[in-house]
Amino acid sequence: MAHGTPTASGHGQAKPGEIAIGVIIGRTSEFFDFFVYAIAR
């Protein structure tokens, strides 16, 4: 498969910047969940 060719699911290659944004959002939401749990205790 050539670089940048869409796969069977219809998505192309993920850019490193897009992956980094997803990781930041995921980590932030995970931290927020722990923060809310700590307040609710």
Mean pLDDT for each 10-residue chunk of the chain (41 residues)?
56 85 94 90 80
Asked whether residue 28 is assigned to any structural domain, the reply reads yes
In this predicted structure, what is the pLDDT of residue 13?
84
How many CB atoms are located within 10 Å of the residue 38 CB?
A: 8
Q: What distance in Å separates the CA atoms of residue 30 and residue 36, rounded to the nearest whole number?
A: 10
Asked whether residue 9 is assigned to any structural domain, the reply reads no
The per-residue pLDDT of the chain, averaged, comes to: 81
**CA 35, chain centre distance (Å):** 20
Do residues 7 and 1 lie in contact, with contact meaning Cβ atoms separated by under 8 Å? yes
Q: What distance in Å separates the CA atoms of residue 13 and residue 3, rounded to the nearest whole number?
A: 7
Q: What distance in Å separates the CA atoms of residue 8 and residue 40, rounded to the nearest whole number?
A: 44
In this predicted structure, what is the pLDDT of residue 12?
77
Number of domains in the chain: 1
In this predicted structure, what is the pLDDT of residue 28?
94
Asked whether residue 40 is assigned to any structural domain, the reply reads yes
For residue 26, what are the domain limits?
16-41
Task: Specify the pTM.
Answer: 0.53
